[in-house]
């Protein structure tokens, strides 16, 4: 299936197809920045309250929470930075997918939480599924024209 405006027979869909095709690089940039910003700000919050993050991991019964807190926050920061810059985007997406699997499996098992916390954890679980979906799209599409990846590929 191609990405051409002629895909849709309905006029309104043809306009949407045409816009998506003509703005795809700009939209990939916006999507990358939004996705990356979420990881950057999450990592920053962990760095600013590492004790709280260690306590959170301890409550989740994560083995060696001090070690994993000092792994998780930098990994999350690097994911955000590389996605925003569009640098090594497909590799960053793979790391991000792995991070999301681990984080979701450890921290957002909503069915194990007390009733008062189930909805918040369920929403976090769904948020991570949405992030997983967005990250899969970036893995497939790559960073787009407005990226370090594209600048580096032109030097070859």
Q: Residues with Cβ < 8 Å from 118, sequence gap 6 or more?
A: 110, 111
pTM of the model: 0.85
What average pLDDT does the structure give for the chain?
Answer: 91
How far apart CA 83 and CA 38 sit, in angstroms, is 10
Among the ranges given (16-30, 87-101, 128-142), the one the predictor scored with the smallest mean pLDDT: 16-30
Show me where the domains of the chain are located.
Answer: 31-153
The pLDDT of residue 144 is above 50 = yes
So what's the pLDDT on residue 76?
Answer: 97
User: How large is the average pLDDT for residues 19-26?
Assistant: 90
| Residue 29 DSSP SS3 | helix
How far apart CA 61 and CA 121 sit, in angstroms, is 16
The pLDDT of residue 48 is above 80 = yes
């Amino acid at each position: 299936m191609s990405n051409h405006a002629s895909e849709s027979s309905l006029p309104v869909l043809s306009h949407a197809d045409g816009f998506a095709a003509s703005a795809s690089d700009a939209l990939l940039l916006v999507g990358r920045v939004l996705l990356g910003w979420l990881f950057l700000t999450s990592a920053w919050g962990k760095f600013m309250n590492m004790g709280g993050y260690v306590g959170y991991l301890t409550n989740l019964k994560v083995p060696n929470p001090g070690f994993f807190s000092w792994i998780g926050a930098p990994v999350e920061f690097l994911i955000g930075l590389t996605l925003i810059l569009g640098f090594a985007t497909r590799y960053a997406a793979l790391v991000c997918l792995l991070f999301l699997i681990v984080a979701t499996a450890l921290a957002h098992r909503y069915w194990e939480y007390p009733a008062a916390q189930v909805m918040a954890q369920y929403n976090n679980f769904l948020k991570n599924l949405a992030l997983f979906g967005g990250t899969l799209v970036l893995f497939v599409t790559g960073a787009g024209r407005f990226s370090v990846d594209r600048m580096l590929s032109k030097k070859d």
